[in-house]
Amino acid sequence: MQAAGPAQRVPDEHPRHVHAGSGAAPRPFRIAIIGAGPAGFYAADHLLRQTDLPVEVDLFDRLPTPHGLVRLGVAPDHQKIKNVIRVYDKTAERPGFRFFGNVEFGRHIRLEDLRRHYHAVVFTTGAQVDRSLGIPGEDLAGSHSATEFVAWYNGHPDYRDHHFDLSRERVAIVGVGNVAVDVARILCRTPEELARTDIADYALEALRESRVREIFMLGRRGPAQAAFTLPEARELGELPGADVFVPPEEAVLDPFSQALLAEEGDRDTLKKVELIQEFAQRRPTGKPRRLTIRFLVSPVAIHDDGTGHVAGLRLVRNELYRTEDGRLRPRATGRYEDLPVGLVFRSIGYRGVPLPGVPFDERHGVIPTEEGRVLDPATGRPLPGLYAAGWIKRGATGVIGTNKACAVETVSRLLEDAAAGRLPEPEQPDAGAALNHIRARQPDYVTYDDWKRIDRIEVERGEAAGRPRVKFTGVREMLEALREDPARSA
């Protein structure tokens, strides 16, 4: 946030780098990165760590808080995963790094502005919206995307006013990926378990009152194709507040899966199938909630209770068939059943959203790229100076660390282009000019030092309650806390 008085260190003083062997002091390559999630930080880190070319990095995020899905996607009961933030803090300490939070691409800063001040732009905006099922009833009240629910319980400012009717006793989650597992686990956690996390306060209150008793996760293929990973599945089997169960007939492997598993001998999948089959043997132990994982079923419609609210799901049973390239796909059998539920979360993957002026592949929900270079859809050739990394480049796959290799690939191509003179020369390639532009367009920009203050206040608020932090969930609240923070003028 821009200081009104002498208070805040203004991040416009970069040390100037010098090309090895040159007498003069050439300007560094200035790189803008849009999106301060894991991919953005890994891209910044790789740029600032290398010593072949002098670079400066400005990392932008539309929210005042950095770290993307590590803050707003990783489940609140998975605090250890969030330790990766320490790595990002180290990146932020590297000379040549600046963070501009609360600055939105397309609103406060447009592509032509970036072109004027930077040699290259790396888009790391992730995948913010969900994929839809395309079935009747998807728009009924009580039918939500997992994306919304996850963002809501994690305190994302855009989602804090969403409402989820947790007075319903039966809930279906469509999809059996790790996001579906997160949603199921959060619905199954006891208030005492949640109270030890950094879940948003309003979500803690709502989940404390939750009357959800029965949760169904619905896989369209079989146990061997479940997208969740083994540790996540194991955790479901150890929930203090919920019994986990799989209908025994759905835990049995079909002949195709058996053959494929024997052929490939994938140990993780084998163990996952064994675990699912073990779940199928379990009997209720009297825990307050029950989680049932179903396989080989697809929703074909969401029923209306007559008032525009979800009343249940129409499911079709599937069988698997082998495609020419050897993959196992689901096919409807014509056998149907109805599953009465009052709430539906679709958790069938994420898509990126198009950015103004940047090519977009609608079909896959990504920016079209080749090894991270953004491609011109008209020519299929790279657009000079434009790059992408992370989920907006390769789709919503992999864990946080996957983004490191992805960002390194992109940045390696960028550095090759810089070394070969293939980057366009900006009109005003200096840090001060970029800062002036940002100041003029968004005086309430947030620096990394500002973020560290927000972070400290959140952690302090959590200490009293025995929680890792109590999050700010509104942008205005964050900016006010910064204005009122006595450490601001330190």
The residue ranges that bind ligand NAP (CB under 6 A) are 133, 174-180, 182, 219-221, 225, 227, 232, 298, 347-350, 396-399
Give the nearest distance from C-beta 452 to ligand NAP in angstroms.
26
- The packing angle between helices 402-419 and 38-49, to 10°, is 40
Q: Which SS3 state, helix, strand or coil, does residue 226 take?
A: coil
Question: Residue 177 or residue 359: which is nearer to ligand NAP going by CB?
Answer: 177
Nearest C-alpha neighbor of 182 from the set 75, 295, 81: 75
Q: Could you write out the DSSP letters of every residue in 417-448? A: HHHTT-SPPPSS-SHHHHHHHHHHH-TT-B-H
Give the nearest distance from C-beta 184 to ligand NAP in angstroms.
11
Sign of CA dihedral 338, 344, 350, 353: positive
Question: Residue 65 or residue 147: which is nearer to ligand NAP going by CB?
Answer: 147
CA–CA distance, 299 with 316 (Å, rounded to integer):
6
Give the nearest distance from C-beta 472 to ligand NAP in angstroms.
23
CA–CA distance, 154 with 152 (Å, rounded to integer):
5
- In angstroms and rounded to an integer, the radius of gyration of the C-alpha atoms of the chain is 24
Question: Residue 242 or residue 446: which is nearer to ligand NAP going by CB?
Answer: 242
Question: Residue 182 or residue 193: which is nearer to ligand NAP going by CB?
Answer: 182
Please give the structure tokens belonging to residue 242: 């919920």
Among all chains, which residue has been given the structure tokens 């180290």?
A: 90
Give the nearest distance from C-beta 74 to ligand NAP in angstroms.
7
What is the 8-class DSSP label of residue 467? Answer: S
Question: Residue 229 or residue 412: which is nearer to ligand NAP going by CB?
Answer: 229
Q: What count of other Cβ atoms lies within 10 Å of the Cβ of residue 256? A: 16
Among all chains, which residue has been given the structure tokens 């007075």?
A: 167
Instruction: Show Cβ contacts of residue 367 under 8 Å, excluding neighbours closer than 6 positions.
Output: 123, 352, 355, 358, 359, 360, 361, 374, 388, 392, 393
Give the nearest distance from C-beta 75 to ligand NAP in angstroms.
7
Give the nearest distance from C-beta 76 to ligand NAP in angstroms.
12
Give the nearest distance from C-beta 268 to ligand NAP in angstroms.
12
Question: Residue 176 or residue 367: which is nearer to ligand NAP going by CB?
Answer: 176
Question: Residue 184 or residue 438: which is nearer to ligand NAP going by CB?
Answer: 184
Write the CA distances from 471 to 122, 155, 197, 203, 462, integer angstroms. 29, 7, 11, 11, 8
Question: Residue 57 or residue 188: which is nearer to ligand NAP going by CB?
Answer: 188
In a 10 Å sphere around its CB, with 0-12 CB exposed, 13-18 middle and 19+ buried, how is residue 24 labelled? exposed
Question: Residue 242 or residue 396: which is nearer to ligand NAP going by CB?
Answer: 396
Q: Which residue is nearest to ligand NAP (CB)?
A: 177
Give the nearest distance from C-beta 297 to ligand NAP in angstroms.
9
Do 54 and 25 meet the contact criterion of CB atoms below 8 Å apart?
A: no
Do 33 and 43 meet the contact criterion of CB atoms below 8 Å apart?
A: yes
Write the CA distances from 301 to 138, 183, 344, integer angstroms. 8, 21, 11
Give the nearest distance from C-beta 117 to ligand NAP in angstroms.
33
Question: Residue 91 or residue 225: which is nearer to ligand NAP going by CB?
Answer: 225
Write the CA distances from 346 to 260, 291, 333, 343, 434, integer angstroms. 28, 16, 22, 10, 41
Give the nearest distance from C-beta 131 to ligand NAP in angstroms.
7
